Amino acid sequence: MIQLPIYLDNNATTPMDPRVLEAMLPYFNEKFGNAASRNHPFGWAAEEGVDYAREQIAKLINCSEKEIIFTSGATESNNLAIKGVFEMYAAKGNHIITATTEHKAVLDTCAHLEKLGATITYLEVKADGLIDLNELSNAITDKTILVSIMYGNNEIGVIQPMKEISAITRSKGVLLHTDATQTVGKIPVDVEADGIDLLSFTAHKMYGPKGVGALYVRRKNPRVKVTAQMDGGGHERGMRSGTLNVPGIVGFGKACEIAMQDMEKDTIRLSAMRNRLEKSLIELEEAYINGNTDHRLPHVTNISFKYVEGEGLMMAMKDLAVSSGSACTSASLEPSYVLKSLGLNDDLAHSSIRFGLGRFTTDEEIDYAIECTKKAVTKLRDMSPLWEMFKDGIDLDAVEWAEH
Amino acid sequence: MAYSEKVIDHYNNPRNVGTLDKAKSNVGTGLVGAPECGDVMRLQIEVDQNNVITDAKFKTFGCGSAIASSSLATEWLKGKSIDQALEIDNMDIVEELALPPVKIHCSVLAEDAIKSAINDYRVKNGMDPIELPKSHH
Ligand SMILES: Cc1ncc(COP(=O)(O)O)c(C=O)c1O
Ligand code: FES
């Protein structure tokens, strides 16, 4: 028996792995100490938990535990990385390069810095969602201090070529930050092999708790420094003050350890299920996959079902928890800027659904999701004037629409 | 955001989905919205010699509230004279369906669709179109 509704929104957040919860529990009561309390056993027990987690986390991305700065999540990590580099390297320059498909935590941080005198270049992406490496290379000037390009995209799962990107930034002596929130724990991420200088990630996208994340800050070749954005007691080597969220950090560590153990197994299982789901759904007429399918996270697919609107569609798929790039689902009434960056027409962006599978997704759930989605698309198309016009051979682009 | 029970009812059991023959002189068709905006509504009325609406059909590309608004509109239109139909205000729809503020424009679209269908009927039958208020979009 499957339980409804089915959770297929694992790019928004993941459920906690029970093994993570178990590791965290003692740190809420018997080991409640402040990890900064150096002179009694309560503090030591907490510190021990944090130290161990730091090792588990460092191992997963192949860095030293001294290079991990704990934060409240990837939003804060992105802020600390970008604002911190902007302040620290002000003498060197004020130019930052990023891409139009980044998460708002990067884009809005850059927009904030623009008001403070930064010059920002927003690279356009190609139709498959990948950046153009030549464009990146050409955009770098002697004022460039940072390139910030996300690893795996949260809406379409497209993976940017980090090694090639870092080859460029290295050769030009520019720092590279990556928002790897969706990527760490899903595919191998190795800051040495990938040549990354700063990396943001968060526990709640990898079966850990919400409200805890980290920023990796390289200590050698080159030694990177960021100006603290949170001042206070000088925690985290002065880069991020504030009493550590010990249970959260312990859970984050455990989540990383499990990810390392289970990654290969999870990837094989999830990509097989994702591919099966995708293959069945694009059997529907006028259904299109968004983004590059060769360089993509294993657990996500983003599909546009032309001539139906995403929010209306999701209502018919009420037993599935998914998300849509439709404007009707957003407070701004604008369709997804990520999909628009791929050059998708607004009507296809409105028609998109993101399916995000996770460690606890089952084959039966995928069977159900296929059935349910197909039925919903058919139901909505039977109600869609655009579908009827399309079937009658009317060119919708040639119609003069009454609105706007 | 959770939908009201009435929206869900109209959405699950939409009234009067379909197509009338738009070539007929006693059928008025309103097509409003635009695909790029994520909402397109087509509403059709069939009118008898006494200017009474005897049938109404819709098809909508849009969110659940837009579908429910057009479904409700077709229900209200049947049996009304076209003058009475002109009095349907989008806020009546908002109230009946308990639409939240972000979904008010879905009801505006339904009101526009009604007026546009009536105008199509009027023009087809030698009457002047009524003045449409500027869209609230
Ligand atoms: C790519 C990306 N960056 C940053 C974030 C923000 O992460 P957090 O919720 O930990 O602040 C998210 C999550 O929504 C994300 O998908
Ligand atoms: S049609 Fe877009 S919010 Fe209703």
* A383-402 residue pLDDT tens: 999 999 999 999 888 888 86
Location of structure tokens 């004020």:
A94
| B63 has catalytic annotation | no
B60/A383 CB distance under 8 A: yes
Strands B39-47 and A323-324: unpaired
Residue nearest to atom 2 of ligand 2 (CA): A328
B33/A401 CB distance under 8 A: yes
Rounded mean pLDDT of chain A? 96
Measuring CA to CA, which residue among A174, A191, A211 is closest to residue A96?
A174
Residue B130 belongs to a domain: no
- Tell whether the model's pLDDT for residue B38 goes beyond 90: no
Distance between CA A86 and CA A121 in Å, rounded? 14
Residues in chain B within 8 Å Cβ distance of A307: 61
Read off the pLDDT of each residue in B62-76 and give the average, rounded to a whole number.
96
Read off the pLDDT of each residue in A129-154 and give the average, rounded to a whole number.
98
Neighbours of B6 (CB within 10 A): 14
Residue B26 belongs to a domain: yes
- What is the per-residue pLDDT for A403? 56
Residue B137 belongs to a domain: no
- What is the per-residue pLDDT for B135? 52
* Count of domains for chain B: 1
Distance A385 CA to ligand 2 centre (A): 15
Residue B11 belongs to a domain: yes
Give the confidence band of B1 by pLDDT, cuts at 50, 70, 90.
low
Sorted by sequence, the CB contacts under 8 Å of residue A77 that are 6+ apart come out as: A69, A71, A200, A201, A202, A213, A214, A215
Residue B71 belongs to a domain: yes
CATH code, B91: 3.90.1010.10
Residues in chain B within 8 Å Cβ distance of A381: none
Residue B15 belongs to a domain: yes
A379 Ramachandran zone, left/alpha/beta (phi>0; psi -120 to 50): alpha
Q: Which of A55-69, A95-109, A188-202, B123-137 has the lowest mean pLDDT?
A: B123-137
Give the confidence band of A326 by pLDDT, cuts at 50, 70, 90.
confident
- Tell whether the model's pLDDT for residue A176 goes beyond 70: yes
- What is the per-residue pLDDT for B3? 86
Instruction: Name the residue range of residue B19's domain.
Output: 5-124
Residue nearest to atom 16 of ligand 1 (CA): A154
Distance between CA A39 and CA B40 in Å, rounded? 68
Residue B32 belongs to a domain: yes
Read off the pLDDT of each residue in A276-300 and give the average, rounded to a whole number.
98
| A63 has catalytic annotation | no
- What is the per-residue pLDDT for B133? 64
State ipTM: 0.93
B38/A383 CB distance under 8 A: no
A388 Ramachandran zone, left/alpha/beta (phi>0; psi -120 to 50): alpha
For the question of whether the overall pTM of this predicted structure is more than 0.90, the answer is yes
Read off the pLDDT of each residue in B26-38 and give the average, rounded to a whole number.
91
Distance A125 CA to ligand 2 centre (A): 28
Residue B131 belongs to a domain: no
- Tell whether the model's pLDDT for residue A404 goes beyond 70: no
A352 in reach of chain B (CB within 8 A): no
- Tell whether the model's pLDDT for residue A128 goes beyond 60: yes
Give the confidence band of B134 by pLDDT, cuts at 50, 70, 90.
low
Distance A4 CA to ligand 2 centre (A): 26
Residue A189 and residue A151 in contact, taking contact as beta carbons nearer than 8 Å: yes
